[in-house]
Amino acid sequence: MVSWSWRTLSQALNGRNYVKYIDSYGSVCRAINERRKNDGLADKQILENAEPFEPLCQLSVEGPKSCLRLPESEFPRYNEFTFMEKFALRTNDLDIENGDELTDFLIWLASASLGYDIQDPEVHLGYLIEHYWFECGDKEYALSFARKELPPLIVKHKSVAEGIWQRAV
């Protein structure tokens, strides 16, 4: 089995700008493909590397759909992040005062938290956002509630997100 190089991945994604895409390896494929469509920087960074990560080159040339059809022994598969790791990564650079950013995050949180233990504060927040926003139809209250409840959770998960980034680079 081929091991996955997070350092090369991080270089291809050019830092933290694409953290919202990194939920799994499949999402990483989409993020790299998005980079290729937009500006070709992933390809440029591969070319700048003296010894580029072979599966990343293959991904760049053939695209994610083709690569994911290959056996796992030829092309690495993803390791799914836990809900808490996803929460940590998504809140790490979240600007809760930016309405669009917060809205995107809360839409994700409301759906992603379903099915997890409601005793966890992050999951409980997701259920409350889902209730206030989608069941009661009060988006403004959901946004103001989240702005009040999120800061301590963001602080709590800061070290988790930093740890993931440390392992990635």
Start-end of H helices in the chain: 6-13, 25-38, 41-48, 54-62, 64-68, 83-92, 99-112, 121-129, 139-168
Q: Sketch the domain layout of the chain as residue ranges.
A: 6-68, 83-158
CA distance 71 to 145: 46
147-164 per-position pLDDT tens digit: 999 999 999 999 988 888
Asked whether the CA dihedral 150, 152, 155, 161 is positive or negative, the reply is negative
Residue 26 has pLDDT above 80, yes or no: no
What was the pLDDT predicted at 155?
94
User: pTM for this one?
Assistant: 0.59
CA distance 22 to 140: 28
Q: What is the mean pLDDT of residues 128-137?
A: 96
Q: Is residue 45 very low, low, confident or very high in pLDDT (cuts 50, 70, 90)?
A: low
Asked if residues 91 and 153 have their Cβ atoms less than 8 Å apart, the reply is yes
Residue 31 has pLDDT above 60, yes or no: no
Kindly state the tokens that stand for 13: 């994604």
Residue written as token pair 């309405």: 99
CA distance 57 to 76: 13
Asked if residues 27 and 21 have their Cβ atoms less than 8 Å apart, the reply is yes
48-62 per-position pLDDT tens digit: 777 777 777 777 778
Half-sphere exposure in the Cβ direction for 98 (13 Å, CA): 8
Residue 167 has pLDDT above 50, yes or no: yes
